[in-house]
Amino acid sequence: MSTRTTATRRLAVAAAAAVALSLGVTACGSDGGSTSSTASSSAGSAGTSGTGSAPKAHGDITVFAAASLKETFTDLGKKFEAANPGTKVTFNFGGSSALATSINSGAPADVFAAASPATMKTVTDAGGASGEPKTFVKNTLTIAVPKGNPKHIAGLKDLTTSGVKVALCAKEVPCGAAAQTALKAAGLNLTPVTLEQDVKGALTKVELGEVDASLVYKTDVQSDAAKIDGVDFPEADKAVNDYPIAALAKAPNKDGAAAFVAYVQSPEAKQALTAAGFQAP
């Protein structure tokens, strides 16, 4: 074999090796680039799904809520627990002003849902709320009367008729403050036979036949429709109550508090609340 032929073959082999090496490097580079891109994409997806998603809930969550929320919140609490295994929601229902006082006195609670901005303000002014409270529903007054309306009450003025016994909420309670606003709008003075510390107390007086009527929320009459009738009156439009909710600054379960507040503002919860007679904010 000639020297020239041998040299030519060596050049061919070297060229082939160079091409093979180049292809191998390119292939490795392509695999590495694909893996890096996939990881980056996965991280981006995880970050996107995490952004704006509902907070995760776990453990015990204590919610202080206005008495008028009892039926709806009790149901929502069960649904929240079902959607968040390992959680337990405990409610303390009562007059908003009394609940606010308890919170400001150090009662352990995670969430406060009040029946008026004024009662929520007593908590926020004391630094008790974590973040800005959010209005999630509104509620309107109506006149609760026994089934069949035996006194034939047709409006607020009939409540001032001699012999008609009326129950009101105390003035410091949201339903009581709203009642005073409505009566003032109607230009009426009314002396009740009893002042109750929450709206359920005023409603119970009608149920037991101890009074002929009481001023309560529409939602309370709707939840007790088997025993109570409601009489609407135009002045109620002057006394609509906003309901704010907030996680509390000293919440023992901060994650759970944030999750429950978010859930109350979810489409599912809003549907349940409006079905119960509350109004959208």
**Structural domain count, the chain:** 2
Residue 164 CA to residue 214 CA, distance in Å, equals 10
Q: Has residue 207 been placed in a domain?
A: yes
- Tell whether 173 and 131 lie within a shared domain: no
Q: Under a CB-based contact definition with an 8 Å cutoff, are residues 102 and 112 in contact?
A: no
The whole domain housing 206 covers 141-238
One domain for residues 201 and 247:
no
Question: Tens place of pLDDT for every residue, the chain, 281 residues?
Answer: 443 333 334 434 344 443 333 334 333 333 333 333 223 332 332 222 233 455 678 899 999 999 999 999 999 999 999 999 999 999 999 999 999 999 999 999 999 999 999 999 999 999 999 999 999 999 999 999 999 999 999 999 999 999 999 999 999 999 999 999 999 999 999 999 999 999 999 999 999 999 999 999 999 999 999 999 999 999 999 999 999 999 999 999 999 999 999 999 999 999 999 999 999 99
Q: Identify the CATH number of the domain in which residue 169 sits.
A: 3.40.190.10
Say if CB 68 and CB 115 are below 8 A apart.
yes
Domain identity same for 157 and 230: yes
Residue 7 in domain: no
Q: Are residues 173 and 261 in the same domain?
A: no
Give the CA distances from residue 180 to residues 25, 55, 130, 196, in Å, rounded to whole numbers and listed in that order: 84, 40, 31, 14
Residues 67 and 125 in one domain: yes
Whether pTM > 0.85 for this model: the answer is no
Nearest Cα residue to 169 out of 181, 161, 185: 181
Q: Which residues of the chain form beta strands (DSSP E)?
A: 59-66, 87-94, 111-113, 129-139, 141-146, 166-169, 194-196, 213-217, 228-231, 241-248
Angle at 91 between CA 245 and CA 173, to 5 degrees: 60
The answer on 251 and 184 residing in a single domain is no
Measured CA to CA, the distance from residue 116 to residue 105 in angstroms comes to 19
Is there a domain that residue 1 lies in? no
Please identify which residue in the block is written with the tokens 């891109």.
Answer: 37
